[in-house]
Amino acid sequence: MRMENFDSIVVGAGHAGCEAALALARTGNRTLLLTISLDAIAFLACNPSIGGTAKGQLVAEIDALGGQMGINADQTALQIRMLNRGKGPAVQSLRVQADKNEYHSQMKKVLESEPNLFVRQGEVDKIEIADDGYKIITTHLGLQYRAKSVVFATGVYLKSDIIIGHTRQFIGPNGFKNSATLSDSLAALGIKLLRFKTGTPVRIHARSVDFSQMEVQKGEEDILSFSTMTEKKVENRAECYLTYTTPQTHQIIRDNLDKAPAISGEIKGVGPRYCPSIETKVVRFADRDRHQLFLEPEALDTKEMYLQGFSTSMPADLQLEMVHSVIGLEKAEIMRDAYAIEYDCIDPTQLRPTLELKTIDGLFFAGQINGTSGYEEAAAQGIVAGINASLYNQNKPQLVLKRSDGYIGVLIDDIVTKGTNEPYRMMTSRAEYRLLLRQDNADLRLTEIGRRVGLVSDERWEKYCQKCEKIKKIEEILSQKVKLDEKLETLFAENSEPLPKENPHFADLLKRNNLDIFKIDQAYHLFGDFDKRLLEIVNTKCKYEGYLKQQQDEIDKMLANESVEIPENFDYMSIKGLRVEAREKLSQIRPLNLGQASRISGVSPADISILSILVKKANSSK
């Protein structure tokens, strides 16, 4: 059988695989993208939405690095909203309800149009490591491909089972073929596997819904897009609806818990804590008499609607009874049954912060195979794995995003340092520097990094430089002093603010609770045609200056530990001053530096103090 050579191979074409393959191809690597089905490329198997709380920040960061997800979401949006609008800027996140079919077809076009990228349908059966370190991939048809680096982004397809009631099918999401033997090949390389579970709700025919009983959820107008490359305003083309379960829904579930695989123990895989099935919610929150549900369109060319919040693995006949008990769904027609899916994934503590396997150089993992959940978490890992596989091919130092760089850094650090015993989901509370890591400044934080690794295009770079220049001009205007005259007195009186004792700078006015950059502009006409989004960035920077400085001071302290590198073959087991648990955990994780070591579960501050002395001594001797 003829063997074909590539610089890199990406296995899996979900959200992680697409970003990894594009990052590799766009940085000059001849790349093969293998997928079980071309129809599953960038498939939105669960809710056809991109973004949401904390996830919107991930999409913006992917875009800032030169990724595709944000562009694709903007182009295929049915509805766009900013979540947590009434809260502070640190937790505001963009969310798009995307057209499921458009999203797939648009991403497929992008992949097919990339000159260095070769898209091929085929199930990968086996991976072998050649004597020269190259990787050999074999498909179920016996075809073989060879590459210096490989990225595994197989999602939830490894030995996956679809479960509905007592029915179990050995298939992948949405009825796609699964991967039957690749798990065994990975295990043969010494890779530790885990078994996780997730699920998806029913799809309902729109004609059978009584929308009059539901609350309309409209999109927002005049709102920013995910991508800085999007020129055209994102339009709202569809509406979503809010409804609720009823006491009857909960009683049906309670009466049939013996038939619920998620409760009875028939499902062995560990499910997501923050996106549980409806039966798990009813048991866990027994005092609640109703739960929110959102009815959302799947695409413009179908009548299927997605019932968010109603994930279940109950038998099909009970699913219909449960749905009919929901407000507005009394006569609902189910088009697709809900299901749970169990699948193999790897223990992510086996990876370096570059997403490269510690035991095999040039072998990278990204997405749900690393124990995470969500399209955005997957794509974020995909772009980092793709960048680092490219740098590996060039024999260059790989990229490690720090927790202070972005949500992507937090995500990767969490899974490779602490591991996860359930599908990991990104949340704003996981990011300790979230006021600095806002969605609106993602490009200001990460575009230079994307440019440095060769992924940010000239066009994107020019836009970034122009944006930086405009922000600088806005800040220069705000640095001017304003006269303490009648106009200022009127502004302060109208906004219930006490007058300053001397002439302030315009920037000082922004620190007042009841004033912002837009009220000042309305009074003084300072900013002309400056983009509203730029004004919002500067407004946040000025208004929260004290808090931002406090977080930056914390980052500087953290970076002091991050700069103390630990030798790769450091012998933790020989350090008698460390507790046994600390020795074992440190030997398993093998942290890159003291900062990462301090975040390992089971390693105490006292352990770090001892380790710090010995590591600095070892580095000094070296």
Closest C-alpha to 146, from 2, 28, 40: 2
Decide: 348 and 215 in contact? Cβ < 8 Å: no
454 within domain boundaries: no
Q: Is residue 557 part of a domain?
A: no
Q: Identify the CATH number of the domain in which residue 609 sits.
A: 1.10.150.570
User: Does a structural domain hold residue 421?
Assistant: yes
Given 485, 516, 548, the domain boundary residue is: 548
Residue 393 sits in the same domain as residue 538: no
Residue 123 and residue 44 share a domain: yes
Q: What is the pLDDT of residues 65-86, one digit of tens each?
A: 999 999 999 999 999 999 998 8
Mean pLDDT of the chain: 94
| Mean pLDDT of the 102-106 span | 98
Domain end among 448, 479, 498:
448
13 with 126, same domain?
A: yes
**φ, ψ dihedrals at 235, nearest 5°:** -100, 150
Higher pLDDT pick, 99 / 284: 99
Q: Is residue 458 part of a domain?
A: no
Q: What is the domain range of residue 570?
A: 563-621
**pLDDT (average), residues 175-192:** 96
Same domain, 115 and 36: yes
513 and 418 inside one domain: no
Q: Look-up: residue for tokens 């009875």?
A: 264
pLDDT at 1: 66
Query: pTM to 2 decimals?
Result: 0.95
Where is pLDDT greater, at 31 or 579? Answer: 31
The answer to whether position 493 is within a domain reads: yes
Contact of 318 with 184, CB cutoff 8 Å: no
- Assess whether 147 and 270 both reside in one domain: yes
**For residue 472, what are the CA distances in angstroms to 154, 435, 446, 468, 476?**
44, 20, 18, 6, 6
**Residue 391 corresponds to which tokens in the numbers above?**
């740098």
CA angle, 96 then 68 then 301, to 5°: 50
pLDDT tens for 302-334 read: 999 999 999 999 999 999 999 999 999 999 999
Residue 529: pLDDT band (50, 70, 90) is confident
264: pLDDT strictly greater than 80: no
| Other beta carbons within 10 Å of 225 | 23
What backbone torsions phi and psi does residue 240 show, to the nearest 5 degrees? -110, 165
Q: What is the DSSP string of 448-496?
A: HHHHHTT-S-HHHHHHHHHHHHHHHHHHHHHTSB---SHHHHHHHHHTT
Query: Which DSSP helix (H) or strand (E) runs through 537?
Result: helix 532-543
**C-alpha distances in angstroms, 150 versus 13, 156, 361, 455?**
13, 18, 10, 19
Among the candidates 517, 548, 579, a domain finishes at: 548
Q: How many distinct structural domains can be found in the chain?
A: 3
Q: Is the dihedral of CA 220, 223, 227, 229 positive or negative?
A: positive
Select from 592, 557, 604, 597 the least CA-distant residue to 404: 557
Residue 553 located in a structural domain: no
- Residue 268: its pLDDT value, please? 73
Q: Are residues 306 and 159 in the same domain?
A: yes
Question: What proportion of the chain, given as a percentage, has pLDDT over 70?
Answer: 100
- C-alpha span between 599 and 418 (Å, rounded): 7
pLDDT in tens, 428-462: 999 999 999 999 999 999 999 999 999 999 999 99
Domain-located, residue 76: yes
Judge if 413 and 539 occupy the same domain.
no
Give the Å distances, CA to CA, from 338 to 235, 251, 372, 466: 30, 19, 21, 48
Do 538 and 605 sit in the same domain of this protein? no
Per-residue pLDDT tens digits for 117-143:
999 999 999 999 999 999 999 999 999
* Greater pLDDT, 602 or 362: 362
Mean pLDDT in residue range 35-58: 96
Does residue 558 form part of some domain? no
Distances from the Cα of 525 to the Cαs of 162, 519, 529, 530, in angstroms? 60, 10, 10, 11
* CATH number for the domain that contains residue 522: 1.10.10
Q: 510 and 384, same structural domain? A: no
Residues 571 and 544 in one domain: no
Predicted local distance difference test score (pLDDT) of residue 263: 76
Q: For residue 108, what is the domain's CATH number?
A: 3.50.50.60
Note whether 526 and 575 are same-domain residues: no
Confidence band, pLDDT 50/70/90 cuts, at residue 271: confident
- Please state, in angstroms and rounded to a whole number, the distance separating the CA atoms of residues 100 and 91: 26
